Structure 1
């Protein structure tokens, strides 16, 4: 399957889990945005976006994440980004100065319990 983007969702107890794999860009960011919006509206206590297998993310992906953060706050729930993040994603958050706007963890396990 290579670097083809994949967004999958699954409920886990009271958590909406979204797993990303591959490059998240202009073509795939709308699917990510939909999944995150559905998670915010689901009534789950938190949404965990597992970014550990995402190899690349551009401004479209960042926009989807920022919008999702606003939706989650408005819904009174938490959005957690789980790593470890690959270098291109670290670079995206660092260069844009947006890392501080998200709750981030270094592993999926810690994101599920933080």
Structure 2
């Protein structure tokens, strides 16, 4: 039986932001999907990247590593990265138990992330 990914990543530009929508299960088999999106963010060099995680049902340590790598890339380039929820319970747990939740800006919706109201650091 051929391998089929249980994860999807969609990238699009909205206003002055790159919006990345992730959905499904992210483990080591899908470890290249998000870094490809980060490369697109670097190429576009927009001031804001929004990562919608509301459809992610599972993320392992490679998923966490991809998020931390994105945060570091955006920070070093002087661009913002905002995670959009509501964060699924498994992702919220992953970010909480690893003590990295407070290092991310989190918005409740895409509208909020794109400028409706400011996201809060580490707020689920």
Which TM-score applies when normalising by structure 1?
A: 0.91
Q: Which runs of 5+ in 1 are unaligned?
A: none
Give 1:13's match in structure 2, choosing from 4, 12, 15. Answer: 15
What's the CA shift for 1:55? 0.7
Question: Which structure: larger Rg?
Answer: 2
Aligned partners of 1:82, 1:44: CA distance in 2, in Å?
Answer: 17
Q: Give the match's secondary structure for 1:71.
A: helix
For 2:89, the equivalent position in structure 1 comes to: 87
CA contact (8 A) 1:33 1:64 kept: yes
Aligned partners of 2:86, 2:42: CA distance in 1, in Å?
Answer: 23
What's the CA shift for 1:36? 1.8
For 2:110, the equivalent position in structure 1 comes to: 108
What's the CA shift for 1:97? 0.5
Which TM-score applies when normalising by structure 2?
A: 0.84
Tell me if 1:78 matches 2:91: no
Residues 40 and 102 of structure 1: CA distance in aligned 2, closer, same or farther (over 3 Å): farther
Q: Give the match's secondary structure for 1:85.
A: coil
Aligned partners of 2:16, 2:111: CA distance in 1, in Å?
Answer: 15
Task: Detail structure 1 runs of 4+ shifted over 3 Å in the superposition.
Answer: none
User: Which structure exhibits the higher relative contact order, with contacts defined as CA atoms closer than 8 Å and separated by 6 or more residues?
Assistant: 1
RMSD, matched Cα? 1.4
Where do 1:41-52 residues align within 5 Å?
Answer: 41-52=43-54
Q: Which runs of 5+ in 2 are unaligned?
A: 119-124
